[in-house]
Amino acid sequence: MRVPSESDAKQAIRERVWSRLAQAQASTDPHGRIPDFESAAAAAGRLAELPAWQQARVLKANPDQPQLPVRVRALREDKLVYMAVPKLADPLPFFRLDPAELGDEAEPLAAHRVAAKRAPKTAVADMRPVDLIVCGTVAVNRHGVRIGKGAGYSDIEVGLLAEAGLIGPATIIVTTVHELQVIDEPLPQDEHDFTVDYIVTPEKIISCSPAYRPPGLVWPNLGQEQIAAIPVLAAMANKR
């Protein structure tokens, strides 16, 4: 009999949380994605109560729908937002949404489908240091251990920023989720899995410090096909 792997364990938790959200009608079609949820805008408003948000001038945010209100709010507050290109499949792997440069054009670009067509892109080497990271999550516990949808791009993005010296151990990472995505049990965690400092729901802010940050990319955990599919990783691998 095959022994369940850590990957199997993560997927079982995803399926459980997705089903919980669907049964509660808290999310429309949550399966297979970072689930959008009711009151995502309220969670964005709750996030804005954090001093870390108020002090941040540069954000790295995920492109998923439940964090759209976060990205819009950041742009309205004149914060620079970096958002990953889909699957990091471009030599310039981040969109640069800068209200100072884009003016009224910035806010529409917060929607990832619009950004994919019109937003300016940037190389990691040309990015400014990041004050705050907002990530999407499927499940998270009160220790800040999170599970994404399984593609691993968030961990690679954080690793890239760490390698470039754009984030460090003190960089705050937060996630906005529905209450049903917060679970009271240990979660599987790999060496490359960062944890969050704060979980923000529409109702509350949960502090999870101290958080774990990998010092950079964990190359042994990256497959050759994965490296080849991400131009910035392929270029870095060729120099190693």
On whether residue 223 sits in a domain, the answer given is: yes
On whether residue 156 sits in a domain, the answer given is: yes
The pLDDT mean for the chain works out to 94
The pLDDT, as a whole number, for residue 5 is 63
The pLDDT, as a whole number, for residue 146 is 97
The pLDDT, as a whole number, for residue 2 is 36
Does residue 38 carry a pLDDT above 90?
A: no
On whether residue 48 sits in a domain, the answer given is: yes
d(CA 179, CA 86): 27
Does residue 152 carry a pLDDT above 60?
A: yes
Where is pLDDT greater, at 150 or 56? Answer: 56
Q: Where are the alpha helices (DSSP H) in 56-137?
A: 68-76, 99-102, 112-118
Beta strand segments in the chain, E: 58-61, 80-84, 94-97, 121-122, 132-135, 139-141, 146-147, 172-176, 182-183, 198-200, 205-207
| Mean pLDDT in residue range 232-239 | 94
Does residue 3 carry a pLDDT above 60?
A: no
- Give 7's strand partners: none
The pLDDT, as a whole number, for residue 233 is 96
CATH code of the domain containing 127: 3.40.50.10420
* Domain range for 117: 6-239
Residue with tokens 């001038």: 57
Question: Among candidates 38, 7, 9, 8, which has minimal Cα distance to 181?
Answer: 38
On whether residue 1 sits in a domain, the answer given is: no
Share of the chain above pLDDT 90, in %: 91
On whether residue 70 sits in a domain, the answer given is: yes
Does residue 18 carry a pLDDT above 60?
A: yes
pTM of the model: 0.95
Where is pLDDT greater, at 209 or 178? Answer: 178
Share of the chain above pLDDT 70, in %: 98
Does residue 72 carry a pLDDT above 90?
A: yes
d(CA 117, CA 225): 26
Looking at the structure of the chain, the number of domains it has is 1
On whether residue 188 sits in a domain, the answer given is: yes
pLDDT digits (tens, 9 = 90+) for 181-205: 999 999 999 999 999 999 999 999 9
